[in-house]
Chain A
Amino acid sequence: MDAIAANRSQLAAALARVAAGDRAALRIVYQDTSAKLFGVCLRILNDRGEAEDVLQDVYVTVWRKAGSFDPARASPITWLVAIARNRAIDRLRASAASRRSEPIESAEDVRDDAPAALELVVAAEQRERLKTCLGELEERHSAVIRSAFLDGVTYEQLAQRMEVPLGTMKSWIRRGLMKLRTCLER
């Protein structure tokens, strides 16, 4: 078993223990994943305080919903990332309309003091697959899809950012998703 697969099954086992109400296991999940999830929240919210609130919400959700994690359907880290992104995006939408107008690159400035303890990469195979499929899209389509995922921005905001009409942006992303899906399913 390689290191990533070992991490994955270790994390899946910890989540199973969390589902059984084991607080120590939640601590393990937190230690292994909080820097990644905090990074994800921070990238979307671009505000440390908000990201901290959401991070708390995320692990409380993990505590309550660990039983719904299905290792056959999702890898532990993508499941956790999905929860973090959903919470962060909900928070972003709820907070005063588009407080954030500066370009996303400002998020790169955040202090990077994460422990390098655990590599939380998803299976290399899966990452390569996404890369290959994105490569089959028109470049602008794959660029906005990537940007949407990482920054949690709306169609409207993406359209403004790229200076194209809203309808065009919808078309780019929807076409991109349709092609992507066909490719990812292969």
Chain B
Amino acid sequence: MSETDHSDTPEGGDPIVAGEFVLGVIEASERSTVAQRIEREPEFASEIAFWEERLGSFADEVKPVAPPEAAWSRIEAAIAAPVRSPALAFGSLWQNLFFWRIVGLGSSGLATACLIALAYFGTVAAPERAPLLATLGQQGGQPGFVAAIGSGGSLVIVPASLLTANQKSMELWLIPTGTQARPRSLGLIAPSQPVRITVPPNLVPFVTPDASLAVSLEEPGGSRTGAPSNDIIAVGKLTNL
């Protein structure tokens, strides 16, 4: 190797490409290319693991800094289990709507689900701008869920038809607009009851008209890969009311 090196493919091959990735010296565009290889190529992933493990001792030098107290609650909220209906602070209005929803499922589940989703914002989140609404259609066009998200990131998702998940978990995903839009998990939802979720603050900017929501079936506990399984059961675009 000469004293200067202008090439993009280093002499040492994959071990060096992996080392460069772990060090973090390459630019963003290259990083995503290399990151994809880690997912696809087990041998290359071993090279990455080698460097992560061996260079990891550098981190000993970094002074620990206590994160703010609020940091944990945000994490807890982001991984939160579905909130059961009594915990939704809808009071008696809620109880009534829940009853109506059961009654209404046979004939107008969708309309009732919309009503519930909107009632939530009407009663709880009045100061916010108008929520974005999505109807998540199932295969065959049947509406599966209705969701509404307020500008602050409070989301309520309501089943619009009777769904069962068998042994699987249902996971809700936000699919941002744009070409680099990888789905971001919003947490697990329940097939048979409305669920309230707080969109993590770092994802709130992605809640825009034309972004989509999708529900996938996952192994119990949710996706372990950070990406949805191929089993997407309902999807729909967010639109302005």
Interface residues of A (CB under 8 A from B): 19-21, 23, 26-27, 30, 34-36, 38-40, 42-43, 51-53, 55-57, 59-61, 63-68, 73-75, 77-79, 81-82, 85, 89-90, 93-94, 110-115, 120-122, 126-127, 129-131, 145-146, 148-150, 152-156, 158, 165-168, 170-171, 173-175, 177-178, 180-181, 184
Q: B23 near A40 (CB under 8 angstroms)?
A: no
- Chain A residues whose CB sits within 8 angstroms of the CB of B27 once the complex forms: 93, 154-156
Instruction: Specify which of B20, B66, B222 is in contact with A177 (CB 8 Å cutoff).
Output: B20
B125 at the interface (CB under 8 A from A): no
- Chain B residues whose CB sits within 8 angstroms of the CB of A127 once the complex forms: 57, 60
Q: B31 near A93 (CB under 8 angstroms)?
A: yes
Q: B60 near A121 (CB under 8 angstroms)?
A: yes
Instruction: Specify which of B58, B72, B202 is in contact with A149 (CB 8 Å cutoff).
Output: B58
Interface residues of B (CB under 8 A from A): 1-7, 10-12, 15-16, 19-20, 22-28, 31, 46, 49-50, 52-68, 71-72, 74-76, 78-79, 185, 200-202, 220-226
The complex places the Cα of A174 from the Cα of B9 at a distance, in Å, of 11
Instruction: Specify which of B24, B49, B50, B76 is in contact with A85 (CB 8 Å cutoff).
Output: B24
Interface of A: prevailing SS: helix
Q: A39 near B65 (CB under 8 angstroms)?
A: yes
- Chain B residues whose CB sits within 8 angstroms of the CB of A94 once the complex forms: 28
Known: A64-B223, A65-B225, A93-B31. A35 touches B65 (CB 8 A): yes
- Chain B residues whose CB sits within 8 angstroms of the CB of A27 once the complex forms: 72
The complex places the Cα of A113 from the Cα of B64 at a distance, in Å, of 8
Give the one of B23, B54, B201 with max A CB within 10 A.
B23
